[in-house]
Structure 1
Amino acid sequence: MSDEPFFLKEDKVQVTRAETSTEAEVEPLQLGKRVREIRLSQNLTLEEASKLTGLARSTLSKIENEQISPTFSVVNKLVAGLGIDIPQLFSQPKKNQGATGRRDITRKGEGTPHPTPTYEHELLASQLTSKKMIPYRTVVRARSFDVYPEWVRHDGEEFLYIESGSVLFYTEFYEPIELFEGDSAYYDCAMGHALVSSSEEDAVVIWVTA
């Protein structure tokens, strides 16, 4: 669909590259270390974890120090006693990389323009690459749903906020609904959607796509 902002297409490529890089760097799971992290995250001592799981304190200590590998029966006791599920026990913990210091300021009217026949997009925070969210401000030029040759649809989820004016919000599986200044919507972008200005002046909206 021509009305899909070009920056959404670029971001898909960047995300794919990032995911590939992450997958290549997965480290072998250290089950004992994972058990210890879960125990400490719940502020449990070895003695307290022992009572909850029914495992001897010495057994827990040996598991955490990678001195023994837990049997299936022991894994079930760990899961039940610590109140977790098996995928949590065997999943890689997220690394705390701390603050990255990423920041981007967009002054009023200084976003990257991308006009289309129906929307006049202004991409915000355009200096940052590989963003997890894509924010943009849009003037809705469309005045009739008939100007769309087909539904607008793309990957991800989207948040819509009406900054000024009013719009008719068309979605593939719902009846059109009129949204006014201050109203918002959150929806699946793979579902066909489109906006039409219903106010005297062209409506202005804020979109955030994830």
Structure 2
Amino acid sequence: MKKTATRPSLRETAAAEIVPARFSADVAPAERNDDLGHRLKRARTDKGLTLKEVSERSGVARSTLSKIENGQMSPTYDVLQKITRGVDLDIVELFDQRRQSAPFGRRSVTRNGEGKPHPTDTYDYEVLATDLSQKHILPFKARIRARSLDDFPGWVRHEGEEFLCVLSGTVRVFTEFYAPVTLEVGDSTYFDSKMGHAIVSLSKEDAEVIWICTGISALS
């Protein structure tokens, strides 16, 4: 009798030196984020788009979009990027409605702890420099809550490139095409965001990192 093949778990595949591209990130339920959901809904309705149209443009399920808009689900970064591209919106506008029209000679200062929070099940983001729109990078600090690859529904992947530097604690960086690597305080990594990736904390306390992503305003 023919055996039915079973798909290996994310933990099993990531343990190999080269991990097959099998997974795509989804949305993880988290704390309510009504403000973000309302802004997404307002951006969609202002452009006269239906949930079905945004779903077709972004590739995010209509039911998921509805839950996010109603504050019942907090989107992971890659999903949020898909949605903002689907509604032709600068992702930074979701976190701060102030805009600076001048594209030259700009500066932004974010005091410690004053970034815009965006919690998810795996990471607690603090988005920085939210008063500047049309940026080519998105900087943020993140507290790494995840302790295992089992905490993720699948690989995280999106457009652009990323730089990550550890501020406190120890993290392990899992990527599709490379062996997992452990980073201590002061260590950093740079990688292609389209390559599946996931970061977990190895510390007793949540590790903290500074994270920079490209491909934000340029894609919206």
Answering whether residue 114 of structure 2 is matched by residue 110 of structure 1, we say yes
Structure with bigger RCO (C-alpha 8 Å, 6+ apart):
2
Kindly name which structure, 1 or 2, has the bigger radius of gyration based on alpha carbons. Answer: 1
Question: Hey, what does 2:69 align to over in structure 1?
Answer: none
Give the Cα–Cα distance (whole angstroms) in 1 for the partners of residues 177 and 158 of structure 2.
16
| Equivalent residues of 2:175, 2:198 under 8 A apart | yes
Question: Hey, what does 1:48 align to over in structure 2?
Answer: none
Deviations for 1:50-82, whole angstroms, at most 9, x for unmatched residues? xxxxxxxxxxxxxxxxxxxxxxxxxxxxxxxxx
Structure 1 residue runs of 4 or more that deviate by more than 2 Å after TM superposition: 5-15
Question: Hey, what does 1:148 align to over in structure 2?
Answer: 152
Cα offset, 1:11, TM superposition = 6.5
Closer, same or farther: CA 132–102 of 1 in aligned 2, 3 Å = same
Question: Hey, what does 1:203 align to over in structure 2?
Answer: 207
Give the Cα–Cα distance (whole angstroms) in 2 for the partners of residues 130 and 175 of structure 1.
35
Question: Hey, what does 1:75 align to over in structure 2?
Answer: none
Closer, same or farther: CA 6–197 of 1 in aligned 2, 3 Å = same
Structure 1 gap ranges (5+): 16-98
For residues 39-188 of structure 1, the aligned pairs below 5 Å read 100-188=104-192
Determine helix, strand or coil for the equivalent of 2:77.
Answer: coil
Give the Cα–Cα distance (whole angstroms) in 1 for the partners of residues 82 and 108 of structure 2.
21
Determine helix, strand or coil for the equivalent of 1:103.
Answer: coil
Give the Cα–Cα distance (whole angstroms) in 2 for the partners of residues 5 and 122 of structure 1.
16
Closer, same or farther: CA 175–191 of 1 in aligned 2, 3 Å = same
Q: How many residues align?
A: 128
Give the Cα–Cα distance (whole angstroms) in 1 for the partners of residues 83 and 146 of structure 2.
25
Give the Cα–Cα distance (whole angstroms) in 2 for the partners of residues 177 and 123 of structure 1.
25
Question: Hey, what does 2:34 align to over in structure 1?
Answer: none
For residues 24-39 of structure 1, the aligned pairs below 5 Å read none
Aligned-pair identity (%): 50
Give the Cα–Cα distance (whole angstroms) in 1 for the partners of residues 84 and 104 of structure 2.
19
Determine helix, strand or coil for the equivalent of 1:136.
Answer: strand
Question: Hey, what does 1:4 align to over in structure 2?
Answer: 77
| Equivalent residues of 1:159, 1:207 under 8 A apart | yes
TM-score (norm 2): 0.54
Determine helix, strand or coil for the equivalent of 2:150.
Answer: helix
Question: Hey, what does 2:195 align to over in structure 1?
Answer: 191
